[in-house]
Amino acid sequence: MVKVYTIASGKGGTGKTTVSVNLGTMLAQLGKETYLMDADIGMANVGLVLGLQDAPITLHEILAGKGNISDAIYEGPAGLKVIPSGISLQGFQQADPDRIRDVMSELVKRCEFLLIDAPAGISKDGVVPLAVADEVILVVNPELSSIVDALKTKILTEVVGGHVLGSIINRVDQDKTDIITKKMEKVLGVKVIGIIPEDTNVRRASSAKTPIVIKFPTSPASKAIRRIASDMVGIAYKEEKTAEVKEGFIDRFSKALFRKKSEQ
């Protein structure tokens, strides 16, 4: 059965797109046919994150009635299928967000998981992704402004007939996870389905235009995303382990030589 999740946040800068890209990549790594659609047609970032900013046909063209959805699907990391939005203002002006329903109807015939990266904030463009998904996942930072805006997004989702599955708390100090989880669930009124710790490798992976789950699979953030994806798929979480590197003859010789010189 196909599951459609909209990844949303109340404000920009929470790491929503990074979470969407990495969660989609991890679902694909777990063997699920996964599609990621960038429904943030005004401030599109999925293409930029994955190096698809020059894609000739994007969701903009499809929403403007100028192309076929098959032409806007691109191969991403680990077999993830990506439907990016364009970065031009002209394309944004011509795109009709109401057509997202039709695009989604076509995509669900092809996949097991469809993730929709929604626009941040409350806007006309952002309402449709909240309404069409089976469930909405809120990406929240552990700070007051992000929590308040996430609560507004939750209320809006319920108003338009959508359902919020839960929240992912991003960029968390690892020493405070239990306290933050309890506070977040109390304020938002939904369960916390995952906590992603602050991780310097996220920025390094972004600079390389590669998901952190590919670039640094054993980093704290990657492990957290693997745990969330495993729960979504319904399988037991298995921690990615670093391959053991065996010490070669040259390494042993160098160490022995260093010890000999030290003794002299």
Q: Which is nearest to 29 in space by CA: 190, 182, 210, 229?
A: 229
**Digit-coded pLDDT (tens) for 87-109:** 888 888 999 998 999 999 999 99
Question: Predicted confidence band at 233 (pLDDT cuts at 50, 70, 90)?
Answer: very high
- Predicted local distance difference test score (pLDDT) of residue 90: 87
Report the amino acid identity of residue 88.
Answer: S
Which domains are seen in the chain, by residue range?
3-263 (3.40.50.300)
Q: Is the pLDDT of residue 135 over 90?
A: yes
Q: What is the 3-class SS of the chain, one letter each residue?
A: CCEEEEEECCCCCCCHHHHHHHHHHHHHHCCCCEEEEECCCCCCCHHHHCCCCCCCCCHHHHHCCCCCHHHHCEECHHHCEEECCCCCHHHHHHCCHHHHHHHHHHHCCCCCEEEEECCCCCCHHHHHHHHHCCEEEEEECCCHHHHHHHHHHHHHHHHCCCCEEEEEEEEECHHHHHHHHHHHHHHHCCCEEEEEECCHHHHHHHHCCCCHHHHCCCCHHHHHHHHHHHHHHCCCCCCCCCCCCCCCHHHHHHHHHHHHHHHC
Q: Is the pLDDT of residue 194 over 70?
A: yes
**Digit-coded pLDDT (tens) for 137-186:** 999 999 999 999 999 999 999 999 999 999 999 999 877 788 889 999 99
| 148 Cβ contact list (under 8 Å, min separation 6) | 10
Q: Is the pLDDT of residue 255 over 60?
A: no
Is the full-model pTM beyond 0.85?
Answer: yes
Q: What is the mean pLDDT of the chain?
A: 90
The whole-angstrom separation of Cα 237 and Cα 148 is 31
